[in-house]
Amino acid sequence: MKKAGLIICLLLLIGCKSKTISRDTEDLKIKKVISSEISSAQQQKAYDLGKRVLETCNTSKFKPFNETEVTQSVMENTTEERLTKTCQKFRQYYGSFIDLKLDGVYKTKQETIYRYHALYTKKVANKELRVFVNEDNLVSAIKSMDWDEKFESQITD
């Protein structure tokens, strides 16, 4: 009986052997760029759309995105219901939204990432907003998270 259990454990270990997956790491590299290297129109677009989302918490009115501003997935995921739910938490914990302060611009092979420090009325608020702009100059993601002084190179959760 003990031998059978040992054999089964060995077979499981052999069967669960991890595989090596090769991927192009060039696509994942993130480098910081000087904001003057990026078009001012794209910078303004990222700022305006990020601010529009966070100002929804102050005004309770959201002007929906269109296909010339964001990708289809962002349009589908940024609904008034979802924003309302998020805004309730943000207003309770952080107060009213004031403005976005650009902290840095980062580039990958396919996207430009704008990293903003989100400013709120309460002192405890220490939030960050990342706006991802793809090669077609469309916002492909908007992500809010807790502020960290160093930029993490994580693109996705």
Break the chain into its structural domains and give their ranges: 32-146
pLDDT digits (tens, 9 = 90+) for 89-125: 888 999 999 999 999 999 998 999 999 999 999 988 8
> Tell me, what's the pLDDT at 155?
45
pTM of the entire predicted model: 0.77
At residue 15, does pLDDT exceed 80? Answer: no
CA pair distance 133, 139, nearest whole angstrom: 4
Mean pLDDT, residues 36-55 taken together: 91
Residue at 32: amino acid letter = K
Q: Which residue has the tokens 């809010």?
A: 144
* Segments in 60-144 forming alpha helices (H): 72-77, 80-94
pLDDT digits (tens, 9 = 90+) for 128-139: 999 999 999 999
32-146, CATH topology level: Nuclear Transport Factor 2; Chain: A, (3.10.450)
At residue 75, does pLDDT exceed 60? Answer: yes
The confidence band for 81, taking pLDDT boundaries of 50, 70 and 90, is confident
At residue 1, does pLDDT exceed 80? Answer: no
SS3 5: helix
> Tell me, what's the pLDDT at 156?
44
> Tell me, what's the pLDDT at 61?
85
SS3 141: strand
